[in-house]
A and B are shown apart, each in its own frame.
Chain A
Amino acid sequence: MRNGWDDEQLLGALGEAMRARQAVPSWFVEMGKNAYAWHNIDAELAQLTYDSQAETKEPAFVRSEAASIRALTFTSARLSLELEVGENSLIGQVIPPQAGTLETHTKDGLTTSRVDESGYFAVEPIPASPFRLRFQTAGGGVDVVTGWITL
């Protein structure tokens, strides 16, 4: 008997291997495959440098209307990404203002938004957490990515 496996054992082991694979949900496998989007990406990392929610610890009912909009800032050596979390969308600006594209990466993949000459962009709807944003200029001279963001 080669490998010491007779027909019954081999068939049984194959069944076990198939069941182990079938037990894994497809979203789990897809998430693993999508992670490859980060291969060979040497984008500059923008760190979270400001979070309005971290500053304001008092309960929601004492906050004014204006203060209830969450604002985040991500800073890299070259630029900052300023974000405001609206009801249905993320509004943001690249500082200093410049045009380019903004990729929103989630575990399910990525979507792309345009960044206009004034550096403004909008991501709608608000992406599922965690997500990360990557800003690139057309020539590829600027390539900045935030860490994973959980809202």
Chain B
Amino acid sequence: MRDDPTVVALVTRAAASDQGAWDEIVDRYAPLVWSICTGFRLSTHDVEDVAQNVWLLLVGQLGTLREPAALPGWLATTTRRECLRVVTAARRSERLGTELDEAAQFVADTVVDEEILAAERNAALRAAFAELPPRCQQLLSMLLSDPPRSYGTISTTLDIPIGSIGPQRARCLERMRKSSALLGLADVGVNFPGGDPGA
């Protein structure tokens, strides 16, 4: 088991000069920041600009975040604001009006809640996966690989009989389901809806 994986603990440790905790915050939420930037279709240069500002702002506010648990929301809002700043600057130079800016603002407001929930869910799933024993991680990785590996290949690579792949898969997933990361997710009321809400 790792140290307490909750966001509050990570923020507290990072504020107390723990680089490891900071790295974990970035690992967890870089996909959230990235997906928001991708949604705005920014150039690589603008994405760098946005991300640089978002992380520097967070570093500067680690000790004063009013609700560390709301970090994903803070990150999403800050990223969105930085993206809008870049987009607005670009539009101004193209002499387009404010209507587009308002449209961008509306789109940004509506997609963001869903993105925060998905980011929370994904971070918890990756944390739960990281808590699994290496054998389980290998098995699940192979089952998820693209293109999919045959049971024959998995059996040879992991040196387990084909007949026990199914039962082991079930045991690994059950273990994941009971991990503190996923139980914590249930506590805060983020339920997996049984499918991708965006699909």
Contact = CB atoms under 8 A, between A and B. Distances in A.
A21 interface: yes
Contacts of B49: 130
A124 interface: no
Given A13-B125, A40-B17, A32 B30 contact: yes
Interface in B1-46: 14, 17, 19, 22-23, 26-27, 30-31, 33-35, 38
B177 A13 contact: no
Interface residues of A, number: 32
Contacts of B34: 23-25, 28
Q: Interface residues of B: mostly helix, strand, loop or mixed?
A: helix
A21 B22 contact: no
A63 interface: no
Contacts of B126: 17-18, 21
A39 B62 contact: yes
Interface string A3-19: 11101011101111110
Given A4-B194, A36-B19, A38-B60, A29 B26 contact: yes
A23 B33 CA distance: 12
Contact of B121 (A2, A11, A13, A130): A13
Contact of B125 (A14, A25, A35, A107): A14
A33 interface: yes
Nearest to A14: B125
Contacts of B196: 16
A20 interface: yes
B153 interface: no
Interface in B61-89: 62
Contacts of B19: 36
A26 to B, nearest CB: 10
B177 A20 contact: no
B120 to A, nearest CB: 11
Contact of B143 (A11, A17, A21, A28): A11
Interface in A14-70: 14-18, 20-21, 23-25, 28-29, 31-33, 35-36, 38-40
Nearest to B141: A18
A130 B52 contact: yes
Nearest to B185: A3
B55 to A, nearest CB: 4
A7 B52 CA distance: 39
A15 B141 CA distance: 9
Interface string B104-126: 00000000000000100111011
Given A9-B194, A17-B126, 13 more contacts: A7-B170, A9-B195, A11-B143, A13-B121, A13-B125, A14-B125, A17-B121, A17-B125, A28-B47, A31-B55, A35-B58, A38-B56, A130-B49
